[in-house]
Amino acid sequence: MDKHLTVVAVDGPAGSGKSSVSREVAVALGLKYIDSGAIYRAITWFLIRRHGAITKGQDFSGDLNGVVITQEFNNDGSCNTFVDNTDVSVDIRTETIAKNIGKVSDDPGVREFVNGLLREWARNSSIIMDGRDIGTVVFPDADLKVYLDASVDVRAERRYNEYRESGKNVDLNSIKNQIIQRDVEDTSRPFGALKTAEDAVVIDTSSMSKEDVIQALINLIAPV
């Protein structure tokens, strides 16, 4: 990788605020934001459409041959994800996708496919990328690694508010159970499991405002 380009890796569990914070840091500092979770979501969307329903341990090899996934980061901080030129950005933020995504992101072949895309997209720009294994697997040599965390209750409430703001009628308790379930899946998968990189800066955001977290990241990136 070109040495003057900067790579910032932001990992953490569901609802820790990685993506909303990372996109605003990207806008403030002129970095490109890459949403790795959106790619796993887009692949889940694609596989559900192809198979109707998907099961744990299902063989997805061959399914991704020729599928073109792209992502566009806009100056206003929005990020759009496309599957074969269809904009799936809205359709990938549903409970159905959240419930099924673990079956897809456990698959080593899918992970290899996604990691290839992520490294390719980072080749020509300074980037901030969020996910689960960005600092540990995708970019072990990142210039800065941040691990964002928060309590389960705070994360459930954030996710609940997000759904509500987008007009979805959801139940806080079921969102909380989903977050707990996603934590189990994310930390226990054999490849690309969520864990804190040894050299990551860990920030517990439970009692921080979004603005505080954004500022903390900007301060960390400044000397990089």
Q: Which residue ranges make up the site for ligand CDP (CB under 6 A)?
A: 14-15, 19, 36-37, 40-41, 101-102, 105, 131-134, 182, 186, 192
Closest CB 142 distance from ligand CDP, rounded Å? 13
- The values of phi and psi at residue 18, to 5°, are -50, -50
Q: Of 198 and 219, which CB lies nearer to ligand CDP in the complex structure?
A: 198
Closest CB 9 distance from ligand CDP, rounded Å? 10
Q: Of 144 and 223, which CB lies nearer to ligand CDP in the complex structure?
A: 144
The two beta strands, 127-131 and 32-35, are parallel
Residue with tokens 């600092």, as numbered in its chain: 135
Q: Which residue is nearest to ligand CDP (CB)?
A: 37
Q: Of 31 and 42, which CB lies nearer to ligand CDP in the complex structure?
A: 42
> Quick one: which H or E segment has residue 35?
strand 32-35
Closest CB 4 distance from ligand CDP, rounded Å? 25
Query: Could you tell me how many helices (H) and strands (E) the chain has, helices first?
Result: 7, 8
> 66 vs 83, 84, 101, 173, CA distance in Å?
11, 9, 21, 40
Closest CB 152 distance from ligand CDP, rounded Å? 13
Q: Of 47 and 102, which CB lies nearer to ligand CDP in the complex structure?
A: 102
**Residue closest to 190 by CA, chosen among 95, 117, 105:** 105
